A and B are shown apart, each in its own frame.
Chain A
Amino acid sequence: MNEDIRFVQGNEACVEGALYAGLEFFAGYPITPATEISEHLSRRLPQIGGKFLQMEDEIASMCAIIGASLTGHKVMTATSGPGFSLKQEALGYAIMAEIPCVIVNVQRGGPSTGNPTHVSQGDVNQARWGTHGDHAIITLTASNHQDVFAMTVEAFNMAEIYRTPVILLFDEAIGHMRERLVIPGKGELPVVERLRTALKLGVDYHPYLPREDGRLPMSDFGGIHRYNVTGLFHDMWGFPSDKPQLVHDLTRHLIDKIQNRVHKLARFKEYYMEDARTVLISYGSAARSALHLVEERRTRGERLGLLELQTLWPFPTGLVRGRCAMARRVIVVEMNMGQILREVQIAVEDPEKVFLANRIDGELIMPPDIKKVLRLVWGKGV
């Protein structure tokens, strides 16, 4: 047995996942509780000939990774709430210019400087709508280190396939907690490489003309195809345009390439869902407490199940509707005022049966917190 087993923080699991996926360039800025990602990569990246940059601010680090992606490298930055706010404009640029990149947000309490060393899941909607303008986004999360690793690899793959930024929305508890991580062997998890154009010199290359399968082959800066990249609405050569039809079509393209693939992008886990009459829906570190409660109540024969979401955006509405169809009640377990709750209420046929079990005090939500809500909902001793 040559298994590579580590005992690491979630932030390190993210670093390992990123390196497994082929990360070559990272730019960041110190911020709690994400700093360990920068620290580890400052050591690890130059060991494999990669580049680590500590930039002058959060904005610059987001811009730098976008620039590095255009030269053909896999790139990532990591931050937390205040830094995530600062990165929003450049995040929108990467969406508009269709540049693959991965942004990690290890969530802490907010708004503003908030609660830096404590857990929260308050940035779920910011991940979806933080940058201005109509758009779609992919956001993944995880509740344990093995999944942090796997979702980080997925994030890189999705960024390449859909030429889009992908957000990894972890939280302080996951980021700082230590647990076992088994590093998968090479080839165990699929790794998607950048799709580059096969067009030869002299053939007109269109960086923004999708192929039949929807993918847009790229050409590295420095290569034989010279083209324009802009945050303005642009034509298939990347030249700015404000023609109404073009603006309409590009808006639809940017949204449809993600929203039309909700099923393909949905990552989730199910526990005891077959006969569940009470369904818990949770994600991130909150899902650990939800699972603990489900397993405990199952030993008493109570029909509880857990749907753990790993893809938060695009929200898997159809999946949630289907899994909740037979449930008498649905309890969303999260550490905010109901950011996923609202999505679940929209998804299910009877929103009246959806309840929130939350904590917003910077402490990890625990099984007794969920139990309290169950007691209220069931109306009997739990």
Chain B
Amino acid sequence: MSVKDYIRERFFPHIWCAGCGHGTVLNSMLRAIEDLGISKNEIVITSGIGCSSRIAGYADFHTFHTLHGRALAFATGVKMSAPELNLIVPMGDGDALAIGGNHFIHAARRNIDITALVMNNRIYGMTGGQLSPLSGCGTKGTTAPYTNIDNSFDTVELSIAAGASFVARTTTYHVKQITDLIKQAILHEGFSVVEILSQCPTYFGRKNNLGSAVDMLESFKKNTTPVGSNAKEKKPALIERGIFVQEERPEYCSEYEKIIEKAMGAGH
């Protein structure tokens, strides 16, 4: 099989701008699924609303394009009612952590076996470049013309604090690492978060003078370093990539099976 076998060509051309990082995420995700050899029928992609969410329709799985911010809540219903399925939930930064922040922390708290991909381009692209909770202080957007004074979430720290049992981060420059991390996230039994820094040259790049898509990719290379590297000590501003947490903890669907056993036993 090739990646093309996982694509719904009927759905193309895609809506992403030239230079957008989201296509890289789609490609890497499909390669991860191919490498794992999971049947297409066993995968449900549940997405929200925004540029990121369109990833669902393009892939030939059971695809569920839901409401802005609510993808994890819909996915929780799918997973709980059919625990044998693999749930992958691609979300944008605004989708996952602004309007969907509550669902994000609670899905992590439950440690339900869902793979959440946060495609972080630091902006609302679909609506034309408004600031997001991951834009960061000092950036500009169409709703922050005088520069943004909102502090950012750190997706990794937030996920760890909320209870996610697998937490990782990479960028669209590190294509092979995306595939590797998504593979491990899918295999992990519990709530997994993979944050992928993705470039939006059209809005975030242009508003913040970050140059072309290639320049933005270069900056991902320059401004990141593997988790625990010496470089981070010398230059604390570097963003770490890799796996931050990978722990076995009771998974929600499995725990509920025990509840069912208990309830059935107590019924008489």
The chain A residues found within 8 Å of chain B, CB to CB, are: 24-25, 27, 43, 46-47, 49, 51, 53, 55-57, 59-61, 63-73, 75, 89-90, 93, 220-224, 226-232, 237, 239-240
**Cα-based distance from A316 to B94 in the complex (angstroms):** 44
Chain A, Cβ-Cβ closest to B253: A51
B263 sits at the interface (CB 8 A):
yes
In the bound complex, residues from chain A placing their C-beta under 8 Å from that of B8 are 228
B131 sits at the interface (CB 8 A):
no
- Other-chain residue from A43, A64, A230 in contact with B80 (beta carbon distance below 8 A): A64
The chain B residues found within 8 Å of chain A, CB to CB, are: 8, 10-11, 40-42, 44, 46, 56-57, 60-67, 70, 73-82, 84-85, 102-103, 106, 256, 259-260, 262-264, 266-267
**A222-B82, A226-B62 are known contacts. Are A237 and B41 too (CB-CB below 8 A)?**
no
Instruction: Let me know if A53 and B80 touch, CB within 8 A.
Output: yes
Instruction: Let me know if B267 and A221 touch, CB within 8 A.
Output: no
**Cα-based distance from A90 to B8 in the complex (angstroms):** 26
- Other-chain residue from A63, A75, A222 in contact with B62 (beta carbon distance below 8 A): A222
**A59-B70, A221-B85 are known contacts. Are A226 and B64 too (CB-CB below 8 A)?**
no
Instruction: Let me know if A231 and B66 touch, CB within 8 A.
Output: yes
Chain A, Cβ-Cβ closest to B53: A230
In the bound complex, residues from chain B placing their C-beta under 8 Å from that of A226 are 40-41, 60-63
Report which residue of B63, B65, B84 has the largest number of chain A beta carbons within 10 angstroms of its beta carbon: B65
In the bound complex, residues from chain A placing their C-beta under 8 Å from that of B102 are 56-57, 60
- Other-chain residue from A25, A227, A229, A240 in contact with B81 (beta carbon distance below 8 A): A25
Chain B, Cβ-Cβ closest to A231: B67
Q: What 7 pairs across the A-B complex have the smallest Cβ distances?
A: A67-B77, A64-B77, A46-B263, A63-B73, A68-B81, A60-B73, A56-B106
Q: How far is the CB of A254 from chain B (nearest CB, A)?
A: 17
Q: How far is the CB of B235 from chain A (nearest CB, A)?
A: 38
SS class of chain A's interface: helix, strand, loop or mixed? mixed
Provide 20 A-B residue pairs closer than 8 Å at the C-beta atoms, listed in order of the A residue: A46-B264, A53-B76, A56-B103, A60-B70, A60-B76, A60-B103, A63-B74, A64-B77, A67-B73, A73-B81, A89-B67, A93-B66, A221-B82, A222-B41, A222-B42, A226-B60, A226-B61, A228-B56, A229-B64, A231-B65
Instruction: Let me know if B76 and A67 touch, CB within 8 A.
Output: yes
Q: How far is the CB of A63 from chain B (nearest CB, A)?
A: 4
Instruction: Let me know if B78 and A221 touch, CB within 8 A.
Output: yes
Instruction: Let me know if B64 and A70 touch, CB within 8 A.
Output: yes
- Other-chain residue from B42, B57, B70 in contact with A90 (beta carbon distance below 8 A): B70
Chain B, Cβ-Cβ closest to A220: B82
Q: How far is the CB of A89 from chain B (nearest CB, A)?
A: 6
Question: Besides the contacts A51-B256, A66-B66, what 5 more A-B pairs have beta carbons closer than 8 Å?
Answer: A46-B262, A46-B263, A60-B70, A71-B85, A72-B82
In the bound complex, residues from chain A placing their C-beta under 8 Å from that of B84 are 222
Instruction: Let me know if A229 and B67 touch, CB within 8 A.
Output: no
In the bound complex, residues from chain A placing their C-beta under 8 Å from that of B10 are 237, 239
- Other-chain residue from B40, B75, B76 in contact with A55 (beta carbon distance below 8 A): B76
In the bound complex, residues from chain B placing their C-beta under 8 Å from that of A89 are 67
**Cα-based distance from A240 to B54 in the complex (angstroms):** 10
**Cα-based distance from A63 to B74 in the complex (angstroms):** 5
**Cα-based distance from A220 to B64 in the complex (angstroms):** 12
Instruction: Let me know if A228 and B63 touch, CB within 8 A.
Output: yes
Q: How far is the CB of A246 from chain B (nearest CB, A)?
A: 15
Q: How far is the CB of B25 from chain A (nearest CB, A)?
A: 18
Q: How far is the CB of B127 from chain A (nearest CB, A)?
A: 15
Instruction: Let me know if B259 and A67 touch, CB within 8 A.
Output: no
In the bound complex, residues from chain A placing their C-beta under 8 Å from that of B77 are 25, 27, 53, 63-69, 75
**Cα-based distance from A61 to B40 in the complex (angstroms):** 27
In the bound complex, residues from chain A placing their C-beta under 8 Å from that of B103 are 56, 60
- Other-chain residue from A24, A222, A240 in contact with B44 (beta carbon distance below 8 A): A222
Instruction: Let me know if A67 and B63 touch, CB within 8 A.
Output: no
In the bound complex, residues from chain B placing their C-beta under 8 Å from that of A229 are 63-65
Chain A, Cβ-Cβ closest to B68: A89
**Cα-based distance from A105 to B44 in the complex (angstroms):** 30
**Cα-based distance from A47 to B261 in the complex (angstroms):** 8
**Cα-based distance from A186 to B65 in the complex (angstroms):** 38
**Cα-based distance from A27 to B80 in the complex (angstroms):** 10
In the bound complex, residues from chain A placing their C-beta under 8 Å from that of B262 are 46
In the bound complex, residues from chain A placing their C-beta under 8 Å from that of B78 are 67-68, 70-71, 221
Q: How far is the CB of B11 from chain A (nearest CB, A)?
A: 6
Chain A, Cβ-Cβ closest to B259: A46
**Cα-based distance from A43 to B262 in the complex (angstroms):** 11
In the bound complex, residues from chain B placing their C-beta under 8 Å from that of A63 are 66-67, 70, 73-74, 76-77
**Cα-based distance from A73 to B75 in the complex (angstroms):** 14
Instruction: Let me know if A232 and B65 touch, CB within 8 A.
Output: yes
